[in-house]
Amino acid sequence: MRLKDFPEEELFLQGSAACQGCPGSAAIRVAFKALGRNTILSVIASCTSVFQSPFPVSALDLPTLNMAFATGGATASGLSAAADRLVAKGVLKEKPTILVWAGDGGTYDIGIQALSGAAERNTDFIYVCYNNEAYSNTGTQRSGATPYAAWTTNTTRGKGEWRKDVAQIMVAHGIPYVATASLAYPTDMFRKFARAKEIKGTRYIEIQAPCPPGWKFPSSHTIKVARLAVQSGMWMLYEHENGKTTYTAGTQRIIQGQSKLVPVEEYLRAQGRFGHLFHPERDEKRIGEIQERINHVFETLQFTHKMKEHIMDIELAPPR
């Protein structure tokens, strides 16, 4: 799918309440283009709620439910059951796509129980987590998705723990489709949404969303930071289907050796939230720890790729 083949119809309306350079609205545009108009949306409390609900108007041109934090999986289960019933009764000709749009707070921390339940029941819906790695809506508090050493308002010297990986938790649920996407690769993201639309069952897509005010970089660098995240290995692009993980776009190119891993320092330096690693003095220990972890993951993947190419065709479990 090339950019010029993308549908022109905008289901996200201009003049919204989103910040300048908001990654959430940029992701929503690509997602809505891929899913089309026959979609019912449930927005879980997140930054998207801000531009979805300045009553009496909304910037989203789709039937939308404005829901509480912990309800992602539960509303989807209800919507999906109701849509199934309406199709059986003949009220609806075609079952609409049920889309849950949640932030990382509503997915990683507060909403994971309902999501896990819905995934275990294999409810027919798409769950999207746009991950800005903090509670940006309430002023950048630490979340389960905040990476190691990142500044937030309650980890002022940098977070001491590593982030968890909900995409891998969803892989472990054995659902039909799990994918990660990046704003800097819109064709890859579009393809993943279009693929998810075709499949029945629980589908999980996670988009990394660099947040200019929360991560402290200029609003024009949203896409640049998203691209650096993939190029430096801080964010990995893959899709998991039928028990098999396929790496895509930028991550695939690094694994296949077509492009080199960018030093993680470049990614960290692009953002003010890692500023304490460089000022007043360079924190070699923590930068080294982050780089070492990425190197380990990619060395394993590159080794697996070479093995598959030259020795035998086996599938190793993805590193956690």
Partner 1 sequence: MPKRKRKAAEEIGFVTTLSVPSEGSVGLTGSWRIFVPVLDAERCNKCLLCWIYCPEACIGKDIRIDYDYCKGCGICAEECPRGAITMVKEEKKQ
* Residue ranges in contact with partner 1 by CB under 8 A: 3-4, 6, 8, 10, 12-18, 20-26, 29-30, 51-62, 64, 183, 186, 212, 218-224
By the 10 Å C-beta count (0-12 exposed, 13-18 middle, 19+ buried), 62 is classed as buried
Q: Of 191, 173, 169, nearest to 181 (Cα)?
A: 191
Hey, what amino acid is at 309? E
Cβ contacts of residue 231 below 8 Å, gap of 6+?
250, 254, 259, 261, 262, 267
Nearest distance, CB of residue 56 and partner 1, angstroms = 6
CB nearer to partner 1: pick between 17 and 194 = 17
Q: Report the nearest approach of partner 1 to the CB of residue 4 (Å).
A: 6
Min dist CB 23 to partner 1, Å, is 7
Query: Which CB atom, from 7 or from 319, has the smaller least distance to partner 1?
Result: 7
The smaller minimum CB distance to partner 1, of residues 24 and 111, is found at 24
In angstroms, rounded to a whole number, what is the distance separating the alpha carbons of residues 216 and 252?
29
Helix/strand/coil for 33: helix
Given the complex with partner 1, which of 19 and 277 has the nearer CB atom? 19
- Output the smallest distance, CB 114 to partner 1, in A: 24
With respect to partner 1, which residue has the nearer C-beta, 5 or 284? 5
Q: Which is nearer to partner 1, 54 or 288 (CB)?
A: 54
Token representation of residue 315 = 């599938």
Minimum CB separation of residue 13 from partner 1 in Å reads: 5
d(CA 226, CA 235): 8
Q: Which residues contact 136 (CB under 8 A, 6 or more apart)?
A: 47, 103, 211, 213, 214
Cα torsion 320, 48, 134, 108: sign:
negative
Question: Least distance from C-beta 172 to partner 1, angstroms?
Answer: 33
Take residue 163 and report the two structure tokens written for it.
Answer: 């982030």
